[in-house]
Structure 1
Amino acid sequence: MKTPKIYPHALFVLFLLGMVAAGPVSATDTGALPLDTNGDALISTDELAASVLTYMERTYAGSADADQYTDLRDGAYVYTYWNQTAKTVQDSSGQVVTLTRPIRRAVVMNGEAAETMRSLGYDSTAVVGIGKYILDDPVFFPEYAGMPNVGSVWSPDYEQIISLSPDAVFIYADFMDSKGDEIQQTIQSMNPAVHVLRYDLFEPETYAKEVGLLAAAIDREDEGARFAAFYTQQMDTVTDRVAAIPEGERVPVYFESSDDFKSCAEGSGYHDKIIIAGGQNIFGNATPSYPVVNPESVLFGNPAVVVKLQGNGKLDFGGYEDDDTSKTAEVYNSLLRRPGWQTLQAVKDGRVHIIDTDVFGGPKHFIGILYLATWFYPDLFADVNPEEIHQEYLTTYQHSMYDVTSHGVFVYPAAQSLDG
């Protein structure tokens, strides 16, 4: 005979005892069941448990008695949400981790993880330490201002990390394989109880899958499914439409990084994004993956579209922190004045563009790919507005008040300027 599930009743008794201990509280009869958060006229186990756990957290967090309630709190969570047992998750490195408690104290060292966790609705107050480069981006990550600095992924402050007593530390996976191994081994040698979870979260080919892996680790599976669906919808909009374009008819593109005449080739992330957007990289077969090309070879390639990158290196301006387009305009005009460039098809047709790293790398790469697609095939993507999708991402998933129509320099010339 199956043992009846009686734990919710025990939780309810605990809840009542807590209320009695806190003193009498008057309540108004609104005609609705208390704790019935979804309005179905039934109090479910999940609704009851969530309310009791929230009450316990608010009542005992930070108190002198907090420690004695930790096991009860986490045990109740495991019982209610993890089917009464430990939870096994996997990170992007293939590492399988067994969690015996939810991750309530997190150290996040890579910005891609911090941004994606925000898309999944992870409580930022549960983040107790943050990476140096995230702190260096206060416009995009204002909630972490003043947070303890745990150094960079290249130079971690191990003593600071351990002092924060994290349940988990989030670092990169394949992007920094050997360094990641070093970080994980060092942290776990200092405190074996700390989980080190590894995700890259910037590559188009794996991003949706990584979102699911991360969502499982932080108990945000439903939010992960919703966000992955949004992301996949944007990517499918591009890939489905360009799939019908024959290879020989794809738009020839010259991509240039922030360094003059430093391009990209097969094996680079920039090349992959050009291909996803339906372009034909005129230096796709060059070596190495980020070749410095001869200026005359650009003229010989005669690209139909030119894309220049800003936001790093010697062009470290624009993006979320910059509302002034003057520096970007100077770069744009300098491209047009290059010797021989007036003969390029891209210049003749007004198809020279600048894009910022803030929308071309990391989790927001899909926004940059949308921009590329609209530049490569304006008729095919006439109904797609990357700026609107960018704003939807910020408002709905990043929970940000940032307005991209009045702030930031993400592309140049702006879309309305091209239309006008």
Structure 2
Amino acid sequence: MNLVKRLATSAFLLATLLSAPVMAQSFTITDVAGREVTFDKPVERVILGEGRMLYAVAPIEKEDPFAKIVGWRNDLWTTDKDGFETYVAKFPKGKELPFLGNLTDGTLQTETVVTLHPDVMLLPIGNKAAADEVKLEDMLSGIGVKIVYIDFREHILANTEPSLKILGKIFGHEDRAEAVAAYWKEQMARVTDKLKEANPPKPNVFMYRAAGLVECCGTFGPDNFGLMVDWAGGHNLGSDFLPGYTGSINAEQVVASNPDIIVATGSNWSQTKDAKNYVNVGPAAAATADDSRKALNALVEAPAFTGSKAVANGNVHAIWHQFYTSPYQFVAVQQMAKWFHPELFADLDPDATFKEFHEKFLPVAYQPGYWVDAQVGE
């Protein structure tokens, strides 16, 4: 072999050896928008385009959910202050991270994104239309930033498991993502399998979305909490009127539908502008359960509800709003199943389920308070 060929061969072998570790660490994911996104190295810097994505990141990056996060939207602070405080108390770094604006209302500052030098920006699938409109992908790809879409809100059956697995790859813990997804399916089956066998009549359920925070009567269509109602053995009245996962119907339609059960969603919205009369349920809310119950009692005094079978029979409840944008839907399904079919699910303990999930997967301790019953007529 002549010198030129030997040098060429040596150079090729050297390049192969040097590139092998890099190639071995490259990976490709398909996000919930169907886009293939390739990373040529492990992800180290992440922006959460929705703060509540922390609820999905936490069981996958358990040691420190903020380890790779360099910025996040402020919606966890504004829509679930107790959840925010729970995490930043244990991981103070979270409180120091820069807040970003919201892409859908035009407050996201791309200059801030650039200065944070992220490898990836995680966005909820509901942001894609706004991102496409401003050509965000083209803008960020020019500086080496990937966009990945996940979804725990709009199509929860189709997208919860894939979204968990996407996060598992991005954060380098695919085994944990698989374990969380398996737990999700196992706990969901404790309700759906029993309902399939017993096939009880379905009560008519009105889901009162963000009760007291938005005008009556916000609710859910055939996905999200609407689908959770179905999984729990109820008939979601909002699905009769709304094609999408969320929307509003008028009070007259609620009156005409005469729900058997009313379930309001609530959270600590104390940092949301003009928030009032909401029901505070969620982490740590057990300590203020009496106040939450009073708020719920007051809400169902509205004309849309006063004459309903739900109020007459004392079948009015509130549940944590953030079950609707996290991979914890199985807890809500279990609790609603107990409300809808109390005898069939007498032995089911959603509090114990969620406590076990915290112990197995989450870095923070379980704090009860995620639901409350009204005391109608008292």
Does the TM-score normalized on the shorter chain lie above 0.5? yes
- CA positional deviation for 1:170: 1.4
Contact 1:359 1:410 in 2 (8 A): no
Is the contact made by 1:307 and 1:352 (CA closer than 8 Å) also made in structure 2? yes
Deviation at 1:398, TM superposition (A): 2.1
Deviation, 1:146, is 0.9
Q: 2:320 maps to which residue? A: 356
Aligned position for 1:161: 113
Tell me the distance in 2 between the aligned counterparts of 1:233 and 1:287. 30
Q: Matches of 1:131 and 1:385 in 2, distance apart? A: 34
Give 1:277's aligned residue: 232
Answer whether contact 1:153 1:171 (CA < 8 A) is retained: no
Secondary structure of 1:185's aligned partner: helix
Equivalent residue, structure 1, for 2:365: 401
- What is the Cα deviation at residue 375 of structure 1? 0.5
- Shift, 1:351, TM fit: 1.8
Aligned counterpart, 2:12: none
Task: Please state if 1:255 is matched with 2:207.
Answer: yes
What is the aligned partner in structure 1 of residue 10 from structure 2? Answer: none
1:412 aligns with 2:367: no
1:95 paired residue among 17, 35, 38: 35
2:3 counterpart residue number: none
**Separation (CA, whole Å) in 1 of partners of 2:258 and 2:24:** 64
Aligned-partner Cα distance in 1 for 2:277–2:77: 21
Match of residue 388 from structure 1:
352
- TM-score, with length taken from structure 2: 0.76
Shift of 1:218: 2.4
Amino acid at match of 2:67: T
In structure 2, the residue matched to 1:18 is none
Whole-angstrom distance in 2 between the partners of 1:276 and 1:242: 9
2:6 is aligned to: none
- Distance of 1:336 and 1:210 partners within structure 2: 36
1:55 aligned residue: none
> Which letter maps to 1:199?
I
Change (3 A) 1:232 1:315: farther
State the alpha-carbon separation in 2 of the partners of residues 330 and 387 from structure 1: 22
Question: Quick check: 2:222–2:236 contact (8 Å CA) kept in 1?
Answer: no
Alignment of 1:17-416 (within 5 A): 79=21, 84=24, 86-121=26-61, 123=64, 124-134=66-76, 136=78, 137=81, 138-142=84-88, 143=91, 144-154=94-104, 155-173=107-125, 175-181=126-132, 182=134, 183-189=136-142, 191=143, 193-202=144-153, 203-205=155-157, 206-244=159-197, 246=199, 249-257=201-209, 258=211, 259=214, 261-264=216-219, 266-287=221-242, 290-295=247-252, 298-311=254-267, 314-316=276-278, 318=280, 319-320=282-283, 322=285, 323-334=287-298, 337=301, 344-404=308-368, 409-413=369-373
| Mean Cα deviation higher: 379-388 or 325-334 | 325-334
DSSP-derived class of the 2:100 partner? coil
Closer/same/farther in 2, CA of residues 303 and 213 from structure 1, 3 Å limit: same
Say which SS state the counterpart of residue 320 (structure 1) adopts: coil
1:313-359 CA deviation, whole Å, 9 max, x = no partner? 54445133643234422233235655696764333433211223133
| Identity across the alignment (%) | 20
- Between stretches 220-229 and 117-126, larger displacement belongs to 117-126
What does the per-residue CA deviation read over 1:264-318, in whole Å, with 9 as the maximum and x for residues that have no partner?
A: 36445332221121101345322575333335x5455443222122235544451
SS in 1 for 2:240: coil
Contact 1:235 1:366 in 2 (8 A): yes
Report deviation, 1:213.
Answer: 2.2
Distance 1:83 1:243, change over 3 A: farther
**Distance in 2 between the 1:328 and 1:115 partners?**
23
CA distance in 2, matches of 1:308, 1:135: 21
Q: Is the 8 A contact 1:128 1:148 kept in 2?
A: yes
In structure 2, how many angstroms separate the alpha carbons of the residues matched to 1:167 and 1:201? 22
Secondary structure of the structure 2 residue equivalent to 1:177: helix
Q: What does the per-residue CA deviation read over 1:158-180, in whole Å, with 9 as the maximum and x for residues that have no partner?
A: 2222222222221122x122123
| TM-score, with length taken from structure 1 | 0.69
Contiguous gaps of at least 5 residues in structure 1: 1-74
Distance 2:302 2:130 in 1: 41
Structure 1 residues 354 and 177: alpha-carbon distance in aligned structure 2, compared to 1, 3 A threshold: same
Q: Which amino acid aligns with 1:250?
A: K
How far is the alpha carbon of 1:151 from its aligned partner?
Answer: 2.9
Larger Rg over CA atoms: 1
Q: Any idea what the Cα deviations from partners look like across 1:129-170, whole Å, max 9, x if unmatched? A: 222224554324313111122333432222222222222221
Q: Secondary structure at the match of 2:38?
A: strand
> How big is each residue's C-alpha offset from its partner over 1:359-408, in whole Å with a ceiling of 9 and x where there is no partner?
3443333222221111001122122111122222333322102422xxxx
